[in-house]
Structure 1
Amino acid sequence: MCAGEGILPPGPLSGAVAGMVKFTTTLTPPERPFLSVSWNFKGVNIITSTSINITEPGHTNRISLDRTTGTLELRNLIMEDSGEYTVTIIPDGGLQEQGRITLNIYAPITGATIRSPAAVLIEDRSATNLTCEASGSISTRLWMKDGQPVETSDSISLSMDNRTVFIRPVRSSSHGTYQCQISNPVSSMTAAFNLTVNYGPHNMTITGPAAASTGHRVMLQCMAASVPLANFNWMFNGNVTNVNTSMFVIERFEGKNTGNYTCTARNTVTMKEKSTVLNLRASCSAPRWSFSVFVISTLA
């Protein structure tokens, strides 16, 4: 009969290749030394301690035994050290005590990277995938985008092992920084990849006053969400101007400056363009600021 089946923690115990682990028992040193302490691995006694220590040749110089508690230290770990370990202790004048624990060895994670096919991606027209790779014992892969977990949707899916993210098609929301955290119980590593999706122009607006007083300086700012940045040009009352920046400046407002200011944004990669209009009126009072809401969308 055996007593003390719980003299080892439940486990499993984790260790890294080339590292060290300790199989620590729950025993306190007895008043009289144990008659025998024996550790067994895969049916082989790797060390037996009575009046002398007998160590299995394959573990010579790799193990140390604390004779007072039965605790074993195993060094220079290799993958083949994974498995179940059994300790058997015979006290002086007591019942035999035994414990079992499983050791899992992992190769540390190295060389984490994210691969993606080289291509120019355009929203709603292109598809791509991101593949997370690393060396070592991989237990888990966790995907993040711009600091938030990647969630599956009608355009985003994951492979069964979380190794690859499929994006079909890419959208403006697909643009950003993706991270893959690869881990096992003894190490982790994170790789990052900046995915560029060409999109837009979207969300066209002109900011500026809806009315201005004579003699005042007026600034109209055209904005659009676009990757790459959009090119801008302006028209006034249907006539082409020489302004091709996002800012239209009227140095000294006069009556002749009243009318419709049309800003057109064009993306040279998506070949899309959008226009929006602001109607500027003359006013004797302080100018009021407004946002344009009329948008014309074209695909060149």
Structure 2
Amino acid sequence: MAKLPLTTISICLLMAVAEPQSFTIQTEHRQINVTVGETANFSAKPSAAVRNGNWEFQGKNIGLWIGSSASISNDYKLRAEILTPNGSLLLKSVMFSDSGEYTVTMVPEMGAQASAILTLHVLAEPQSFTIQTEHRQINVTVGETAIFSVKPSAAAKNGIWEFKGKNIGLWIGSSVCLSNEHKFRAEIFLPNRSLLLKSVTFSDSGEYNVTMFPEVGDPASETLTLHVLGSLLQTESTRINVSVGETALFTVKPLAAVKNGNWAFNGTNIALWFSSSVFLNYEYKSRAHILLPNGSLLLNSLTFSDGGEYTVTMVPEVGEKASATLTLQVLDQSNPRDNLNDGAIAGIAIALLLCLGFAIGISAWLIKRKSEAMKTPKQGQNTSSVASDRAAALHENSQAIYENIPRR
């Protein structure tokens, strides 16, 4: 590669130094958003030393400066300030009428002047931070999914969901942390921070509280109430068959924590309980037992008069009360048929029919064997005569059969 002469390099360097760069004005923000009553800072930075300059708002003079001396117009004397030497403008106690375009023009020590335009947006006073809810009352059937829909009025940097004072989940920025109890059932949606709760049970009924902390301002809270609908009580069987003198177990299973409940027979109270305290009717004191915490009933030494409908009513900790009815049939031990259910009776009938069919089949087979034995020729008997006898017998039998056929 050929080398350039030293004189050529020197001339290029002198030309580069001699050519001045164009004068420019840099601005930190061309769009300035300020709340009404606050101060707007129009920050400007010239690329070289400035001899003089001025600020204007929609063609109206705000102020000018020469060197380090600044002069403000009468309309802005109490609110505006020009910061030298860079020429930035401060506008205090801004009003809605101050919104618009501001033009700064600067003349450098050397070179042509330059201008820059900045736009001011004066905003209304910020409203207090609030949380909006789509539904304060949420009704969901047991086993379904509940959605607690919320919408903050501004960005919330962190917050927490709680149920009866217990933590469900919290978030900081975009990171969400759920409690172990709700890890597999709950989900917090960003950015609105709504809560989703899956496979709800009756114990999920109650008040849910959300608290959010905005970027600016005080935190806000909101409460939503969940009602889980459906049957509170599950029964193992609604019909119980027990013999006289034995014990009947009325098994029930509540799907939520029960505050109190009672058992009744044909409208007559048997027992009631509050939490872990049980009170029995005097007539059932020696025969009835309430099995806590599920509230099942155990009834000993049954008599025929115990047959009928038994109703259990339970009141949950949260939600509406629920009832279930079970029917008791007391059977007589002396009558075996009373102890047979419909399935057993049907099985016996089928077995009898099968036995009858088998007996008929055996009888038909024996009759056929006997008939064949009678038709076999004896030793020494003429074969032709036997054949003739068989033909005659067959003819007679055919006539007899034909005559026995009923005619229409």
TM-score norm. by structure 2 comes to: 0.40
Q: After TM superposition, give the deviation of residue 131 of structure 1 in Å.
A: 9.5
Q: CA deviation at 1:48?
A: 1.9
* Structure 1 residues 132 and 152: alpha-carbon distance in aligned structure 2, compared to 1, 3 A threshold: closer
Given the alignment, which residue of 259, 274, 277 partners 1:231? Answer: 259
Q: Partner of 1:14 in structure 2?
A: 33
Displacement of 1:83 after TM fit? 2.2
Give per-residue Cα distances to partners, 1:245-270, cap 9 Å, x unaligned. 1x469xxxxxx999955436425985
Larger radius of gyration: 2
- Percent identity, aligned pairs only, is 18
| 1:156-171 matched pairs, under 5 angstroms | none
Following superposition, the deviation at residue 192 of structure 1 comes to 2.0
The aligned residue for residue 46 of structure 2 is: 27
Map 1:61-72 → 2, pairs under 5 A = 61-72=78-89
Alignment correspondent of 1:266: 315
Instruction: Summarize the Cα distance change of 1:48–1:122 in structure 2 as closer, same or farther, 3 Å threshold.
Output: closer
Aligned to 2:209: 177
Q: 70, 91, 109: which is aligned to 1:92?
A: 109
Is the partner of 2:139 in helix, strand or coil? Answer: coil
Checking the alignment, whether the CA contact within 8 Å between 1:29 and 1:69 is kept in structure 2 is no
Q: Structure 1: 5+ residue runs without aligned partners? A: 155-171, 206-221, 250-255, 276-300
Shift of 1:20: 1.5
**Letter of the aligned partner of 2:62 in structure 1?**
I
Match of 1:195 among 212, 224, 245: 224
| Counterpart AA for 2:63 | I
Alpha-carbon distance, 1:180 to partner: 6.9
Residue type of the alignment partner of 1:9 = E
2:27 maps to a residue whose letter is L
Shift in Å at residue 24 of structure 1? 1.9
The separation in 1 between residues aligned to 2:132 and 2:115, in whole angstroms, is: 50
Matched, 1:37 2:49: no
Contact kept? 1:114, 1:130, Cα under 8 Å: no
Contact 2:211 2:219 in 1 (8 A): yes
Partner of 2:389: none
Q: Aligned residue for 2:122? A: 105
Q: CA deviation at 1:70?
A: 0.8
Deviation at 1:190, TM superposition (A): 4.1
Displacement of 1:35? 2.8
Higher fraction of strand: 1
AA in 1 matched with 2:78: N
Residue 49 to residue 173, structure 1, CA distance change in 2 (3 Å): farther
- SS class of match (1:72): strand
1:49: which partner in 2?
65
In the TM superposition, 1:246-257 aligns within 5 A as 247=276
Q: Distance in 1 between matches of 2:80 and 2:231?
A: 66
Judged with a 3 Å threshold, the aligned counterparts in structure 2 of structure 1 residues 240 and 88 are, in CA distance, closer, same or farther, namely: farther
SS in 1 for 2:45: coil
Structure 2 vs 1, CA of residues 82 and 240 (structure 1 numbering), >3 Å: closer, same or farther? farther
Matching of residue 244 in structure 1 with residue 274 in structure 2: yes
Q: Measure, in 2, the Cα distance between the counterparts of 1:85 and 1:7.
A: 14
Over 3 Å counting, the alpha-carbon distance change for 1:99 and 1:265 in structure 2 is farther
CA-atom RMSD, angstroms? 5.1
Output one character per residue of 1:91-143: Cα deviation in whole Å (capped at 9) or x when no partner. 12232122222222223324445578999x47249xxx99989xxxx8x4669
Q: CA deviation at 1:64?
A: 0.9
Partners of 2:256 and 2:74 lie apart in 1 by 69
1:203-228: CA deviations, max 9, x gaps? Answer: 889xxxxxxxxxxxxxxxx98658xx
**1:82/1:105 contact within 8 Å kept:** yes
Question: Quick one: which amino acid aligns to residue 98 of structure 2?
Answer: D
Paired with 2:323 and 2:72, the residues of 1 have a C-alpha distance of: 80
Per-residue deviation, 1:13: 2.1
TM-score, scaled relative to structure 1: 0.51
